[in-house]
Structure 1
Amino acid sequence: MRISATPDEVYSVISDLPRCGEWSTECRGGSWVSGAPAEVGSVFRGDNLRSPDVVPWAPVVRGAWHTHAEVVAAEPGRTFRWAMRDTAGRAQESVWAFDVTAVEDGGSVLVHHFRMDAATEGIRGITAGMDQDARRRFFAEWGEKVAADLVVTVGRIKQVVEKG
């Protein structure tokens, strides 16, 4: 999404995870629990809230819950990424990311994406009792939810950044 701000201005917002409640569809904010804020290796505790209508037939977490995420890439003005941690504190192959590129008129393009190479501890728990058809249905519906959330999040970030 095109944003009327420099890559450094956009990065200063997207890397300030305690503010994510201003733009995220589920994360309401949180705090840095270890390391220097927004640096590789730092850990953020996110406070989340999910509505009951998200894949309503599946046993996903609803209401309030928290997560821990570890910053895995932090390149000011370019990229900010974090991996969800499991209950043992290990980074999982579930990475959320923002990439920022400059455009000719001094603005930026912000892309938000998500990659899960191996099912997370939470996803394995959700799908453990499902047969193959239910798993396919779950991943299709979950994928649609995540894709929609990414679009909403970037739109809200645009509003926050452009307001100053």
Structure 2
Amino acid sequence: MAESQTTTPLFESRAEIDVEATPAEVYAIVSDLPRCGEWSTECTGGTWVSGVPGGAGAVFRGHNLRGDDVVAWAPVVRGTWTTEAEIRTAVPAAEFSWAMRDSRGRPQSSVWTYRMLPRPDGCRLVHHFRMDTPTEGIRKITKDMDDDERRRFVTEWGAKVSGDMHETLRRVKALVEKNR
């Protein structure tokens, strides 16, 4: 009998919020990545660089900004930088997800998802993040760390991501409900 294998992710976080808007209205906002500076805690916007904008397989180049106080002791990227993400799912009014790409343009095990779940008074917006194995960036950050420092980094970075996701959802909710 074959044993089933489960992968414990390096990072996994989930946040949810109820929004007084239809799943289609929420999807229209969260899938419009060039506008993400209106709700993201790090991404300030960007451009579609290939594919049908917002469609599965499209590539988005994001512009990001991170302050010096974020996990201040670790060698994370600070200031401005760009990333590329490849859209994995684009199902209007239901789900939008993307995987971060490495420097060679390959999707990594760093997947961000929005799901819109219908409710009688609007929808529940779920934001999920999962990284099964370290990305190129995480490997660079942790390459000179000992085991204790790596554990500390994973704990602190995970808390940072979780906090960012909750704040992002709060901002999406405010933006969508204000524009109804």
The TM-score normalised by the length of structure 2 is 0.90
Root-mean-square deviation (CA, aligned residues, Å) is 0.5
Match of 1:69 among 85, 90, 109: 85
- The answer to whether 1:32 aligns with 2:48 is yes
Q: Which runs of 4+ in 1 moved over 2 A?
A: none
Gaps of 5+ in 1: none
Matched, 1:48 2:64: yes
Q: By how many angstroms is 1:160 displaced?
A: 0.6
Q: CA deviation at 1:11?
A: 0.3
Query: Which residue is 2:32 aligned to?
Result: 16
Offset of 1:104 from its aligned partner? 1.7
Provide the residue aligned with 2:134 in structure 1.
119
Structure 2: 5+ residue stretches without partners: 1-16
Counterpart for residue 9 of structure 2: none
Deviates more, 1:96-105 or 1:121-130: 96-105
1:163 deviates by: 1.1
Q: CA deviation at 1:102?
A: 0.5
TM-score (norm 1): 0.98
Q: Which residue in the other structure is 1:5 paired with?
A: 21
Quick one: higher RCO (CA 8 Å, sep 6+), 1 or 2? 2
Q: Match for 1:140: what amino acid?
A: T
Q: Give the counterpart letter for 1:111 in structure 2.
A: V
- 1:113 Cα deviation from its structure 2 partner: 1.3
